[in-house]
Structure 1
């Protein structure tokens, strides 16, 4: 069985490298072709495991230095960076990134590689006559959801980006940019297709693969970015009405993998392994080597907020006080209850509160705002104006979702409030709302020009 899986992974890598070339050359004796990979459900789902592994270890969804949780947490105001600037992370944290930044190049390359893998799987499944219709729909629906979320993150980071559904290398290598509005429109179509293909049932009870409602969460974010608040409200309500999900009333169980409030999570590679977040952010008896929580974030917690007590660890080194994220508590060798959460119900609650606030429906928004506050031991709020309501929603999300999926940055960006960062980020400039395109990509593909403003 292990040898079969290895062969499947080799075949998927070949598909990713060049789908077109695979049908033009003789098939090596020890490798499987596209038709064989998608010949039945077992091999098709095994092919999908390659992209899922990549998402766990080196993607924008990862809980380590590749992920938006760390990168955008430091780019905004959640994390202080302690990396050596030779690797480019400190430049991102200080908002002084340049087109030559190696981290930005890596993020670009990794994400487009993962998008290409998703395209290859979609193309293979669409042409797989041996797959049953339900399995074909599931494989395509999952790949579409993954691809859409990756594209959405790239659009948030870079603005206008190349968008492609093709696996043709020659075509893709010379693609120009698609304007942000068109990217979001394409994602709306892709996600509606995924929603139509997927069901509410999870392929695995541990919720480690997307279902229909996961695709709906991404669509909700797309609608909010398009300022289509009525459509966003309907999507959010549909998610909340699903019997799969229940609000978690116990704050100590928010990051328990068995929770019915979790929509999608990423499982550690081996049994007993910690989550990426637990190991990446950990430091004790020594200064942080990567990131620590910012003083500004710590000051944002109200007195009595249980999240400050349970989700933040204090570390004193040489008389200096540091704070590290402590949402995930189990280190490797002892973890039996924690997976890395991608989406949880609380985000849907607060996104719905935002959509209602944008429609000036203040009283309708309050239950969704106050659910997480009450769980954190804080009193309910009753803001009386739209501006005040949006203020407290952003503040609540800051304390609820720090270091999770770059939520703080995208919230500020979507609401036109990135200028707030200039108070605590001395290098912040309005053009920092997007990153520069990697210089190497501009050299390889002139159609990617022009560079983003002021880079």
Structure 2
């Protein structure tokens, strides 16, 4: 996938397969008479081409290419904060119904997710039962399209709750009259689709196909749906499918899970589903993964006491010395310095004594130089050759096995108490401590509340935290009690309705029926 996604994605667009919805809305054009289904999907290569286009959409800056989804899945909680006074509208819960006049327009996220839904509908309709395709490719591509549509609706229902729902291509007039559908119905259908995807998808891939959705990605996504809907037995069942039957394993060293310094070794056995990015050799800047730049520091900010001259007047300043030392390793600080570790998470005293994940997660000193801000070591890459600014080849890890173990532990505790839940969480903690510090002797409530922190420490800055806090019903309490940087004040602004987002105003203007079932637009009017 790493070598073909970019090329095939653009080819799909050029052939008219991808339904480009743009930045304003997903109601721009009537597509049914513009899609060349009579001449496409006629062989395996074309089916793969169409489905590869779905993967390419996840590269949009509004989704995983930059901070699009992270704005709403991660920021405004208790892990990641802006390194300076930026992104305040989103971070400080000043979101209004209209366009967000900050770094990213909420409408772009909505439009990109529905772009995936509509393209998936097209692919499913043309692949299912298509006798021109080999059985192997027909099953795989149908499974991938079902997974992609479910993944898009996963984000849509998490962020907005009830949303417009359709499973086939609709005309412009039909789209303009859609009301919102109860998210419970949508999720029920997606769970059924993921059962189909599990049966259709292969267990593993190799070579250029690494990064495609497998049956274990489908099972993990289904487990997420069940967990969010508090269907504990079904959540546990899906988790155990992955734990007991998949080829995935926990790596021995926590830091290795995130080591992307060598492109050839970026895929590892713990990753279940990733968004696969590649460096574009034709671009000196722009066009690829920008997410890493948020976590990479700016040299203009570092190191601490950067203008001091340790060797006296007329000698190099500390930042110049620091730059020279990094250059010896082929590194530099050329990022945006946007995403830093929040004060409480950065303080090692707030972690359990001996937790090895701290050093792999937080960096406050580098190459002998104290830094002004704490950064996420697990999410940065300072190599200026293999990972230059605005053109990074790193993968975004969406699902990994440690998360599945923790979900299994949570589900078992909610079903039957902690007695049989310890085994799952302790598999994750075996790696986190040396000597081991297993859990035991807790009540169900103690286990539940301890899991709040365990998921934070294991999965920090991986896009899971905010939705965890929302589904646990504690987002407001956590935000109001979390230490912030001086330029942020989310505790003063957060309200109960902020657990969901407003439907973008551009969509409501095009389709007022979106307010029929909820005239308040999720409480924002």
| TM-score for both structures, normalised by structure 1 | 0.87
Q: 2:14 aligns with which of 10, 14, 17?
A: 10
Name the residue aligned to 1:64: 66
Q: Find out whether 1:446 has 2:512 as its counterpart.
A: yes
Which is further off, 126-135 or 178-187? Answer: 126-135
Partner of 2:354: 304
Change (3 A) 1:291 1:428: same
Q: C-alpha displacement at 1:360, in angstroms?
A: 3.2
Aligned pair 1:165/2:167, yes or no?
yes
The whole-number CA distance in structure 2 between the counterparts of 1:12 and 1:203 is 29
Q: Structure 1 residue 428 and structure 2 residue 494: aligned?
A: yes
CA RMSD of aligned residues (A): 2.9
How far 1:454 moved relative to its partner? 4.1
Question: Following superposition of structure 1 onto structure 2, how do residues 219-230 of structure 1 map, counting pairs within 5 Å?
Answer: 219-230=222-233
TM-superposed deviation, 1:410: 1.5
Q: Partners in 2 of 1:246 and 1:284 — Cα distance?
A: 35
| 1:314 is the counterpart of 2:364 | yes
Distance 1:192 1:59, change over 3 A: farther
| 2:340 is the alignment partner of 1:292 | yes
Residues in 1 aligned to 2:471 and 2:241: alpha-carbon distance in whole angstroms = 22
Secondary structure of 1:292's counterpart equals strand
Cα deviation, residue 4, structure 1: 9.0
Given the alignment, which residue of 271, 274, 277 partners 1:265? Answer: 274
Contact persistence 1:63–1:277 (CA under 8 A): yes
**Equivalence map 1:1-400=2 (5 Å):** 7-13=11-17, 18-22=30-34, 33-60=36-63, 62=64, 64-68=66-70, 70-82=71-83, 89-102=87-100, 103-126=105-128, 128-170=130-172, 171-202=174-205, 207-256=210-259, 257-270=266-279, 276-287=290-301, 289-299=337-347, 300-314=350-364, 321-330=372-381, 331=383, 333-334=385-386, 339-377=395-433, 379-400=437-458
Contact 2:292 2:394 in 1 (8 A): no
Computing the radius of gyration from Cα coordinates, the structure with the larger value is 2
Q: Which moved more, 1:299-308 or 1:365-374?
A: 299-308
CA distance in 1, matches of 2:456, 2:19: 41
Q: CA deviation at 1:139?
A: 1.0
After TM superposition, the structure 1 stretch with the greater mean CA deviation from structure 2, 427-436 or 370-379, is 370-379
More helix by share: 1
- CA drift at 1:441: 1.1
SS of 2:300's partner is coil
Return the TM-score normalized by structure 2.
0.76
- Once residues 423 and 82 of structure 1 are traced to their aligned partners in structure 2, the CA distance between those partners, rounded to angstroms, is 20
CA contact (8 A) 1:275 1:328 kept: no
Instruction: Sort the Cα spacing of 1:398 and 1:252 in 2 relative to 1 into closer, same or farther, 3 A.
Output: same
When structure 1 is superposed on structure 2, of 274-283 and 171-180 the one drifting more is 274-283
- Per-residue deviation, residues 357-405 of structure 1 (Å, max 9, x unmatched): 1113312111221222231226222251111101111201101111212
Cα deviation for residue 213 of structure 1 reads 1.2
Shift of residue 416, structure 1, vs aligned partner: 1.9
Unaligned runs of 5+ in 2: 21-28, 260-265, 302-335, 483-489
Q: Offset at 1:57?
A: 3.4
Structure 1 residue 145 displacement after superposition: 0.7
The question of whether the paired residues in 1 share the 8 Å contact of 2:97 and 2:524 is answered with: no
The count of aligned residue pairs is 439
5+ unaligned residues in a row in structure 1: which ranges? 24-32
Contact 1:194 1:212 in 2 (8 A): yes
